[in-house]
Amino acid sequence: MEIGATKAVQERLKTTKIDEIKGASLVFCWDTHLTKIKGRNVLFIVNASNRYTIAMTDIEPRNWKYYTLYISRVIHGVMQEMGYSEEQIEQYFKMSGDMIVTKTHGKKSVGGINRMVTDAQYFDKKLEKDTKYQWELSEYLNRDICQPEGFDAYGYPSELFKLDMERIGIVSKRKPAKVIDFSQYIENNRGTTD
C-alpha cells in the first residue's frame, strides 16, 4: 500500500523515508494532506483511485511516529463502517502489499485534495470534539459526484470505492442495473390518453 504525503504531511514525517512512487494499483494508494479547518488540524486521507475521503482530527504526536500503522488502522475502521467483513478487509490489505510512504500520486490527485480543502472551508457544522474520525465532514466531502480516471461513468466516491472492490475481486460483482429503453416506452405509449 502506498500512502502519498503532501508537503504539509512530509514536514510532520521528518524521520520517515519518502520513497519514489512505486506504481501500485491506485486502489491501494491513499494520499494524505494536513490542513486547518475551523482552527483544528484535519488530516485528509483520500483514495487515489475513487476519491473516497476520510477526515481525521487531533492526530497525536505519537501517531505521527507510527504513521503507516495509524493510516492502515483508520482505513480498516472506515471499511468496517462501510460494511466490509473482516475477511474482505484482510484480503484488501494482503493484496495491497507492504506499506510505504511516497509523494502524492500526481497533479490530478493534488488538485482533488485542494478542491476538498476548499469545500471543507464551507462545512457549516462544528467538528466533533471528542472524536478523531470526523464522520459528518467525511460524508460532506464524499457527497459530490465525480468521474475519476479509470471510471467510465460518474458516481459518488463511496459507490466508486465499491466498484473498485468488485474490480479487484474482494466483493462479487453486482448485477447491472436494468436500463429502461425510453424510446421504446414512448413509442409503445404514443397516442394513449390518461
pLDDT at 60: 80
Residue 64, in any domain of the structure: yes
Torsion sign across C-alpha atoms 159, 164, 169, 173: positive
Domain of residue 94 covers 2-188
CB burial of 20-47 (b: ≥16 within 10 Å; e: otherwise) equals: eeeebbbbbbbbbbbbebeeeebbbbbb
Torsion sign across C-alpha atoms 130, 132, 136, 140: positive
pTM score, two decimals?
0.81
pLDDT at 161: 92
Series of mean pLDDT values for 10-residue runs along the chain (194 residues)? 82 70 76 87 90 88 83 93 94 90 80 85 85 89 85 88 90 65 67 58
Residue 186, exposed/middle/buried by CB under 10 A (0-12, 13-18, 19+)? exposed
Closest CA to 63 of 28, 103, 13: 13
CA distance to 110, 152, 174, 185, 186, per residue, from 177 (Å): 33, 15, 9, 17, 20
Residue 193, in any domain of the structure: no
Residue 141, in any domain of the structure: yes
Instruction: Report the CATH number at residue 160.
Output: 3.30.420
pLDDT in tens, 179-191: 556 666 667 766 6
Closest CA to 43 of 17, 74, 76, 21: 74
pLDDT at 15: 60
Q: What is the number of domains present in the chain?
A: 1
d(CA 68, CA 170): 22
Residue 194, in any domain of the structure: no
pLDDT at 176: 60
pLDDT in tens, 111-141: 888 888 888 888 888 888 878 888 899 999 9
